[in-house]
Copies of this chain bind each other. A is one copy, B any other.
Amino acid sequence: MNNNFRCNCPITSALDIVGDKWTLVIIKQMLLEGKKTFKGFSESDEAIASNILSSRLKMLEELKIITREKLPHNKKTNIYVLTEKGLGLTPTIIELTLWSDLNIREHHSSIISDNRIEMIKKNKEEFIKMIVEVYKQKTDYNKT
């Protein structure tokens, strides 16, 4: 598993994994929208096709960015959960949010104003920790 990387640059290598149209969207849906099943992702606003979703979930699992689990009394539904490695992308996602808020509205007027933007600006570190903590709590709840 030492392949498929364009070169030895850390940033380019990160983009070899998350540099596409869908990967960070899926992680965002898990982290910020509580999505955790195939159906949940499928029904999102972004409307990802099922075959692409399937292949991305597989890739993310292989790279240990997410895990695939089951609930005790349901052998069918897969529960996808962000690992620490996946949660490590939270700062990147938050920075993209800030950049978007400042720079994209001119091109996309109907973009949603996240009411947490002010909170993020006020204390970014704290906000990131909070998001990750909330996610972990929800995840623990789902497992029990």
B-binding residues in A (CB < 8 A): 1-2, 5-22, 24-25, 28, 32, 45-47, 63, 85, 88-89, 91-93, 95-104, 106-112, 114
Number of copies of this chain in the oligomer?
A: 2
Q: Is the CB of B20 within 8 A of A20?
A: yes
Q: Is the CB of A45 within 8 A of B9?
A: yes
Q: Is the CB of B19 within 8 A of A20?
A: yes
Which residue of chain B has its CB nearest to the CB of A21?
B19
Which residue of chain B has its CB nearest to the CB of A8?
B112
Most buried by B among A1, A9, A16, A17: A9
Q: Which B residues touch A7, using CB under 8 A?
A: 45-46
| Min distance, Cβ A96 to any Cβ of chain B, angstroms | 4
| Min distance, Cβ A58 to any Cβ of chain B, angstroms | 15
Q: Is the CB of A14 within 8 A of B46?
A: no
Q: Which B residues touch A18, using CB under 8 A?
A: 96
A8–B96 alpha-carbon span in the complex (Å): 14
